[in-house]
Structure 1
Amino acid sequence: MRLSQTPAVDLKTAKIAAVVNAASGRCSRGAGEALSAEMARQGLAPAHLWCGLGADLERALDKVLEESPDVLIVLGGDGTIRSVAQRCDTAGPLLLPLPGGTMNILPRALYGTRTWRRALHDVLAAPEVRPVNGAQAGGHRFFAAAIFGGPSLLQEAREAVRYGEFALAAQKGIAALRSAFDRELICVWDGKDGAKGEAVAVLCPIASRRLSPSEPRLEAAVVHPEGPVDALRLVLSAAFRDWRADPDVRCAKAERIEVLGGGPFPGLLDGERFTFEGPLQVELVPEAFLALTPGSGAERKLS
């Protein structure tokens, strides 16, 4: 059954598998049972449902994909969802990534601020297939947003602010500011223009306010605050508005982005932390996978 070629998806006849990481930030051992119960209320039963810890995820995913499901539901944090998404492509399975972590970068890009139960309900009520353009950096794929450089650590402070955890935000913000100005990065887009800054953000079309969802380009944003006070202002204001509108941010659109740094630098790919060495090539991955989204016109951009 080639579900990706039909505008209306009949999930009643689809072979559905589900993967739950019980160790994710906002999940527990009972998350698998909760997901199964929620699906049952919608008249669906997964052919395969795995619920376990992140250390066993890859082996479990190998087994799930061997069964060639039409739809793969994943409930977990950013690292879990990114790992599963990079195992999918346009040949399938259709991916339904539900928010079960702290930042939930990709689910928020697809489903806005919906809880995992609301996202599942809305998708099942009116499923729509949506190609997702992604990107690749250092052999790792991401599908919503990446941040490179010391200020990438401020993302955790931003999310703490969102959830009202202001003491935690202050703690993480101070730690990030200590390393934010260790080194400067150089960002070059499409081998031509470039800019310097303490951080480089790369946004995929699904997360960008300046790109259409199907546009075959990425958005680069170079952050160059004048000092710690400006950096803290940037991350705190970013919790409530589009930080790319800040005067300390320079933006560009490109198919290929190169990040240069004098030594290793931290980065976040869809909320998962990595360490990179420059020069780092970031390239567009057209139609990286097919996502299931609600058929309504609900907001699906990063808030």
Structure 2
Amino acid sequence: MRRVEIIANIASGSVGPDAPAIAERILAEHGVAGTVHTPGDDLSACLRSVIDSDPDAVFIIAGDGTARAAAEMSGPDGPPIAPLPGGTMNMLPRAFYGERSWPEAMEACLTEGAPRMVSGGEVAGRQFFVAAILGSPALWADAREAARAGKISLTLSRAHRAFRQAFSGRLRFTLDGRPKQKTQALALMCPLVSTVLDEDERALEAAALDPSNAIEIFRLGVSALGGTWRDDPSVSMGRCRVGRVWAGGRIPAILDGEPIRLEPEVHIRFRPKAFRAFALPEPP
């Protein structure tokens, strides 16, 4: 590896103002050329410029949204992306590097990393590589974002709204041409993290989460903590290559930890070749 370009968002999660200096030191210690970029307001333009320069790899030290955007922008034909953990949830970094800090993950990538093709999913034209959640439970992500910003009153307001709307509307969906169904939320997991799919399987794992009251939500939460949520009676499982989801209004969603709003009708599809990751030989 001759040249690595690094994007460090010093305002994100666990990155910090010393990140550029630390990253430059690690590059120098491994004899790899590269530049550390600290994007301002125009993150998309910075990503585009770095990816178009065609380095051997692009290291991202930032949150979930930036990691997802970089992977989507680079795609299967662009330079490999190393999504180092710099956010709060770090969904994509954890899938590749486990619980390593970003300097530890960067060291490991430079010593033993290699490009690897990764599959993913797509909802309404936006890609995800770990998991997507569609439906009212995604509203809790808005409360989480307000809490991260230290806005207590806004956090309480959004949490109240999420609880109030928990059973206010259901999703309709159909997967791979099967009969239409209704559910409170639809979760889609990529082969990268699913425990029931082989990594080379050409499908998403789909789970319809349909608790009917607060007691069932609590039970589902307990089963999730124990890792047995797939056995909960309010969960129905399946595989999905294509699908359609619709609702009476805009659909709240989370894509790889990033909260967004989708149109009232969206399409889902599996992408067998989504992007090239700079990954370690042994999964965490």
Could you state the TM-score of these two structures normalised by the residue count of structure 1?
Answer: 0.82
8 Å Cα contact 1:130-1:293 kept in structure 2: yes
**Could you say which residue in structure 2 is the equivalent of 1:285?**
271
1:23-56 alpha-carbon deviations (Å, 9 max, x no partner): 222223322222222333333331x320133x22
* Mapped pair 1:41 → 2:36: no
Matched, 1:138 2:105: no
Q: Post-superposition shift, 1:155?
A: 5.7
Contact 2:51 2:74 in 1 (8 A): no
Matched residues in 2 for 1:239 and 1:176: separation? 21
**Counterpart check, 1:51 vs 2:35:** no
CA distance in structure 1 between the aligned counterparts of 2:191 and 2:183, rounded to whole angstroms: 22
1:226 aligns to 2:188 (yes or no)? no
Deviation string for 1:64-84 (max 9, x for gaps)?
123211211111101111111
Tell me the SS of whatever aligns to 1:258.
Answer: strand
2:37 partner letter: W
Q: What SS class does the counterpart of residue 35 from structure 1 fall into? A: helix
Aligned pairs for 1:71-90 (under 5 A) are 71-90=57-76
Q: Structure 1 45/293 Cα, relative in aligned 2: closer, same or farther at 3 Å?
A: same
Tell me which of 18, 30, 55 is aligned to 1:30.
18
The one-letter amino acid paired with 1:52 is: P
What is the alpha-carbon distance in structure 2 between the residues aligned to residue 248 and residue 281 of structure 1? 24
Equivalent of 1:94 in 80, 84, 108:
80
1:114 aligns with 2:100: yes
Q: Distance in 2 between matches of 1:241 and 1:269?
A: 21
User: Quick check: 1:88–1:288 contact (8 Å CA) kept in 2?
Assistant: no
Equivalent-residue separation in structure 1 for 2:176 and 2:36 (angstroms): 43
Secondary structure of 2:49's partner?
helix
Give the letter for the 1:69 counterpart. P
| Paired residue type of 2:29 | R
CA distance in 2, matches of 1:174, 1:278: 23
Question: For residues 180-259 of structure 1, what are the structure 2 equivalents within 5 Å?
Answer: 180-235=166-221, 237-239=223-225, 241=227, 243-259=229-245
Could you say what secondary structure the match of 2:24 adopts? helix
Number of aligned residues: 276
User: 1:126 and 2:115 equivalent?
Assistant: no
What is the RMSD computed on CA atoms of the aligned residues? 2.5
Structure 2 CA distance for partners of 1:112 and 1:247, relative to 1, 3 Å: farther
Distance 1:263 1:256 in 2: 22
Aligned equivalents of 1:234, 1:290: Cα separation in 2: 35
User: Which amino acid letter does the alignment assign opposite residue 28 of structure 1?
Assistant: G
2:26, 2:227 → 1: CA distance? 33
**Matched letter for residue 126 of structure 2:** H
Distance 1:38 1:197 in 2: 48
Structure 1 pair 219/155, CA: closer, same or farther in 2 (3 Å)? farther
Which amino acid in the other structure matches residue 238 of structure 1?
A
SS in 1 for 2:192: helix
| Distance across 2 between alignment mates of 1:223 and 1:273 | 18
| Residue in 2 that maps onto 1:267 | 253
Following superposition, the deviation at residue 220 of structure 1 comes to 0.9
3-state SS in 2 of match to 1:263 = coil
